[in-house]
Amino acid sequence: MAFLLLLSLLAADDTVAATAFSGREGRLKVRPPRLEETVAVDGVLDEPAWRKAARLTGFSQYSPVDGRPAGDRTEVLVWYSPTAIHFGIQAEAAPGSVRATLANRDKIDSDDYVQIFLSTFNDGRQAWLFAVNPLGVQADGTLVEGTGTGRESGLLSGLLSGREAPDLRADFVFESKGRLTEAGFEVEVRIPFKSLRFPASDRQDWGLHVVRRVQSAGHEDSWVPARRAAASFLGQSGTLEGLTGLRPGLVLDVAPILTQKVDGAPSPEGWSYDADAPRPGANVRWGVTSNLTLNGSVNPDFSQVESDVQQFTFDPRVAVFYPEKRPFFLDNGELFTTPNELIYTRTIADPDVAAKLTGKLAGTSVAALFAVDGRGASASGEDHPIFGILRMQRDVGKGSKAALVYTDRSEAGHSNRVLAGDARVTWGGLYSLQLQAAASRTRDGEAPAVVAPLWQAVLGRNGRSFGFRYLFSGIDDDFRAESGFIARGAIVRATLDQRRTFFARAGSLLESLSCDVVLDGIWKYQDFVHGRGLLEKKLHFNNNAVLRGGWKAGASVLVESFGYDPDLYRDYALAAPGGGVLPFTGTPSLPNLDFGLTLETPQFSKVSGTAFVLWGKDENFFEWSSADILYLTFTADWRPTDKLRLSAQYQHQQFDRRSDGSTVGIRKIPRLKLEYQLSRSILLRAVGEYDAARQDDLRDDSRTELPIVIRDPATGQYAPALGSVRSRLRLDFLFAYQPRPGTVLFAGYGSTLARTEPFGPRALRRESDGFFFKISYLFRL
């Protein structure tokens, strides 16, 4: 009898161990076991708990062609304890094909990796992302669908079918470790419930997506047989059902911070350093409830351990966007994301104190931020600008939502307030409509307040073979968003983008080809209101191909016409032959014809790279005339070992006059980054960026050939627009110890050198330099 009882127990245990949920068979509702067990996160799945875990099997290819069986077998084991959820990844691969390096956090895009998307509110709209490479190196962030700002749409990107890119700026505390095996690789992941927000209910159902990137093939495989022809990727998630007894405990993170900066500059006595007093600060995170978090910060740290990469702009009227990097603002920062970037926390320059409340209550996401900025950010240099920001989003139906945003920035004698509403509606599985309306109210001193509107509508269809994106938006001349980022104001824009995608048979050289036609028109806002014509007209033909092995190539033809914008040249005039100045009127319009090519290599085991080339006839904004233009961007990444990485980038921008072939402007920016990852926690990094530019004497090249003079707005005096040269070299060195988010030690040195001959042999002279130090320790109570 005892023997039979033992056999029955073993059979029961085998039944638990054999519980499999095949994505290809549609078994997407998973009930993982709850186990009162602890395991060592060592990358070896040999504890008894893993034999009882639910098994996710039956992966399908998602990219570049969805629906096909995955080429490599992947199994994901999942179970949970009262305090954490555990994932075990067993991935098969051909011998020698796995890409794995000891990379820095969030820098695993050249490796094989597995992404775990957890939608803890199971709303099909937002998810936490936890990603690991075969060695367990981490990347993490958030994905909030339907809040795209359009910055991700590059010149040649076209309207490609597929999922939105996650935001990797936020860092979460979780454990992971991996190892290479004879069959492929194995990774173990433990995500504490302290690091998540989830509903305050006894029984939980969470959305789950698991995606594997196979670099040797250039493919993405998904456990859910997700369709690229869909308005939502997260809306196709599987489900972790019946999670009960989740006990995150007291969620209280305290991270004291100490920073020190020493800046050097030339002085009459020679080179001297000005050392600021050490600046103490602290970040506090308190889980008020399981789905509501209160953050506070005193003297948030600078966190600028590497200078921003210099960027070219194709149009001087378009502002350059730089992402937020400070940990306090990144934590739950996805809840502040809005269309048209009405909330941009980098406008809070150097806050003395800040606090925010974020979470989700009864289907409504709430994000509130209050900050008192430093005096240096005020117009007078004596006042403290005060920021108040509120963002609320309400889930509506399946995959739709409505939202409000309010921002307030005020200081003595000045205030700017923005009130906006936006909504995203999805239907039919393919279609989405995003609407936004906003008004700003700006007041200076005793002058009457100025109220101005912003509006936008975006209609999209994300079909597998056919898709489109139609945009219609307007920003009034007087609209101001001083807590946000408006790249270009005072315009109305209409864009019609239609895509057709072709898919080849499995094993073909060409796996997919996406062709789209973009018709884009821009009015000055007042011209649109009064029925006047377009300022800019664009017709773009874009083609993007995915080739076998992960190669990607693109080609574009750009037909454009740019109208003269007098506001851009309001301070321009011409030097009259007999003395005095003449008005600068400019040619009414400039016709353009450009050609572009892109190439992206696969992520080979040691190297990878990209290339972008744009050339043709385009506008010369220096003088408002036609020019032969050349834009180049080349990147290369070399990984000679699993610890060493060398990244190079070269950018080139050149304008040659079509009248005589002379160069009116040229800029070159080579950048080199060397990283050595001593361990997962210790990084040595050196960055060098050289920025060289030259501009010729300006003349009215399209009309009179007279010299151009430019008025100084402060004095009203005109001065000749003479040629200029500049050259600057920036060097940054960093030692970083980061055992986990919130616990860091940074020690770095940066130096800027300059000279007046950008392409000549004259020596560079040191212009400024500085040392910085930061130490922070996360106490998780």
pLDDT given for residue 17 in this prediction:
45
Of all residues in the chain, the percent with pLDDT exceeding 70 is 94
pLDDT given for residue 267 in this prediction:
85
Whether residue 5 has pLDDT greater than 80: no
The residue assigned the tokens 């001083």 is 482
Query: What mean pLDDT is predicted for residues 662-685?
Result: 95
Tell me if 177 sits within 8 A of 118, measured CB to CB.
Answer: no
pLDDT given for residue 757 in this prediction:
64
Between 268 and 129, residue with greater pLDDT = 129
Query: What mean pLDDT is predicted for residues 327-354?
Result: 91
The residue assigned the tokens 């700002």 is 149
Whether residue 149 has pLDDT greater than 80: no
Stretch among 150-159, 181-190, 413-422, 485-494 having the lowest mean pLDDT: 150-159
pLDDT given for residue 311 in this prediction:
73
Give the chain's mean pLDDT. Answer: 90
Top mean-pLDDT range of 69-73, 374-378, 417-421, 460-464: 417-421
The model's pLDDT over 115-127, given as tens digits with 9 standing for 90+, comes to 999 999 998 888 9
Burial 393-408 (b: 16+ CB within 10 A, else e): bebeeebbbbbebbbb
Q: What are the C-alpha distances in Å from 301 to residues 75, 277, 373, 549?
A: 41, 14, 13, 43
Q: Rounded to an integer, what distance in angstroms lies between the CA atom of residue 146 and that of residue 426?
A: 10
Whether residue 353 has pLDDT greater than 70: yes
Describe the chain by its helix, strand, coil percentages, rounded to 5. Answer: 5, 55, 40
Whether residue 760 has pLDDT greater than 60: no
Q: Which of 95, 134, 92, 93 is nearest to 113 (CA)?
A: 134
Whether residue 739 has pLDDT greater than 50: yes
Whether residue 281 has pLDDT greater than 70: yes
Q: Which is it for the CA torsion 522, 527, 530, 534, positive or negative?
A: negative
The model's pLDDT over 43-87, given as tens digits with 9 standing for 90+, comes to 999 999 999 999 999 999 998 899 999 999 999 999 999 999 999
Helix (H, G, I), strand (E, B) or coil at 539: strand
Q: DSSP letters along 58-124, please? A: --EEEESSTTSBPSS-EEEEEEE-SSEEEEEEEEE--TT------PPTT--TTS-EEEEEEETT--S
The full length of the chain comes to 781
Q: DSSP letters along 244-266, please? A: E-------EEEEEEEEEEEEEEE
Tell me if 535 sits within 8 A of 148, measured CB to CB.
Answer: no
pLDDT given for residue 156 in this prediction:
36
Q: Rounded to an integer, what distance in angstroms lies between the CA atom of residue 360 and that of residue 122?
A: 12
Q: The tokens of 738 are what?
A: 């980061």
Q: The tokens of 200 are what?
A: 């305050």
Q: What are the C-alpha distances in Å from 259 to residues 304, 351, 731, 748?
A: 11, 14, 20, 12
What kind of fold does domain 12-244 have according to CATH? Immunoglobulin-like (2.60.40)
pLDDT given for residue 201 in this prediction:
87
Question: CA angle at residue 381 from 375 to 384, to 5 degrees?
Answer: 35
Per domain, the residue ranges of the chain are: 12-244, 249-289+564-781
pLDDT given for residue 150 in this prediction:
38
Whether residue 216 has pLDDT greater than 80: yes
Whether residue 592 has pLDDT greater than 90: yes
Tell me if 499 sits within 8 A of 158, measured CB to CB.
Answer: yes
Q: Which of 208, 174, 191 is nearest to 87 (CA)?
A: 191
Cross-strand bridge partners of residue 186:
90, 179
Stretch among 299-308, 390-399, 532-541, 682-691 having the lowest mean pLDDT: 299-308
Of all residues in the chain, the percent with pLDDT exceeding 90 is 71
Q: Rounded to an integer, what distance in angstroms lies between the CA atom of residue 542 and that of residue 773?
A: 47
Query: What mean pLDDT is predicted for residues 487-505?
Result: 94
Q: In terms of DSSP bridges, do strands 708-711 and 743-755 run parallel, antiparallel, or are they unpaired?
A: unpaired
Query: What mean pLDDT is predicted for residues 387-413?
Result: 92
Instruction: Give the strands of the sheet with 184-192, arranged side by side.
Output: 20-22, 54-57, 74-80, 84-92, 184-192, 175-180
Query: What mean pLDDT is predicted for residues 23-41?
Result: 95
Burial 722-740 (b: 16+ CB within 10 A, else e): eeeeebbbbbbbbbbebeb
**H helix intervals, 315-392:** 327-330
The residue assigned the tokens 């009127």 is 585
Q: The tokens of 28 are what?
A: 């997407």
pLDDT band of 304, cuts 50, 70, 90: low
pLDDT band of 11, cuts 50, 70, 90: very low
The model's pLDDT over 227-254, given as tens digits with 9 standing for 90+, comes to 988 888 999 999 999 999 999 888 899 9
Query: What mean pLDDT is predicted for residues 428-443?
Result: 95
Q: Rounded to an integer, what distance in angstroms lies between the CA atom of residue 679 and that of residue 578?
A: 71
Q: Rounded to an integer, what distance in angstroms lies between the CA atom of residue 609 and that of residue 670?
A: 15
The model's pLDDT over 95-145, given as tens digits with 9 standing for 90+, comes to 999 999 998 899 898 999 999 999 999 988 889 999 999 999 999 999 988
Q: In terms of DSSP bridges, do strands 74-80 and 175-180 run parallel, antiparallel, or are they unpaired?
A: unpaired
Query: What mean pLDDT is predicted for residues 317-338?
Result: 87
**H helix intervals, 265-366:** 327-330
pLDDT band of 36, cuts 50, 70, 90: very high
Q: Rounded to an integer, what distance in angstroms lies between the CA atom of residue 532 and that of residue 769?
A: 52
pLDDT given for residue 762 in this prediction:
65
